[in-house]
Amino acid sequence: MRKGWQIPLAAVAVAVAAMVVGCGEKAPAKPLVEADSPAAKLYASNCSGCHGDGLQGRSGPALANIGAKLDAAAIEQRIAKGGTGMPAFEGRLEQGQIRELAGWLAKQQ
């Protein structure tokens, strides 16, 4: 019996197993700041479909630490104008709702 194929086959098996494990559900995000606020409810009804219930991301990027990367003004601009695959919410949400949502997201660090 030839043993030369066993090591490459084992390496392929390990690589496939790692890919399968890596493609599973994303790890749950840490608890949300002000999870019962009106802004959290806005998020749940307008954003969670793409960004996940716990900010962990789905078809859109994870937002779990967005407040550590962007300030409220930058988040507000992205929500209003959209960009990089995200639709604009200007006209869908009132400006006050966008500002409230951006402020809440900025607290998620």
Per the domain annotation, does 17 fall within a domain?
Answer: no
Per the domain annotation, does 16 fall within a domain?
Answer: no
Per the domain annotation, does 59 fall within a domain?
Answer: yes
Distance (Å, whole) CA 21 – CA 90: 39
Q: Does the pLDDT at position 66 exceed 60?
A: yes
Work out the average pLDDT over 46-63: 96
Distance (Å, whole) CA 52 – CA 62: 8
SS3 call for 33: coil
Per the domain annotation, does 99 fall within a domain?
Answer: yes
Residues 10-24 have pLDDT tens digits of 555 555 554 544 444
- Contact between 106 and 70 under an 8 Å Cβ cutoff? The reply is yes
Per the domain annotation, does 15 fall within a domain?
Answer: no
Query: pLDDT class for 31, splitting at 50, 70, 90?
Result: confident
Task: Quote the pLDDT of residue 30.
Answer: 77
Work out the average pLDDT over 93-100: 98
Per the domain annotation, does 22 fall within a domain?
Answer: no
Task: Quote the pLDDT of residue 24.
Answer: 43
- Containing domain of residue 39, as a range? 28-106
CATH of the domain at 81: 1.10.760.10
| Residue 29 CA from chain centroid, whole number | 9
Per the domain annotation, does 93 fall within a domain?
Answer: yes
Q: What total number of domains does the chain contain?
A: 1
Per the domain annotation, does 65 fall within a domain?
Answer: yes
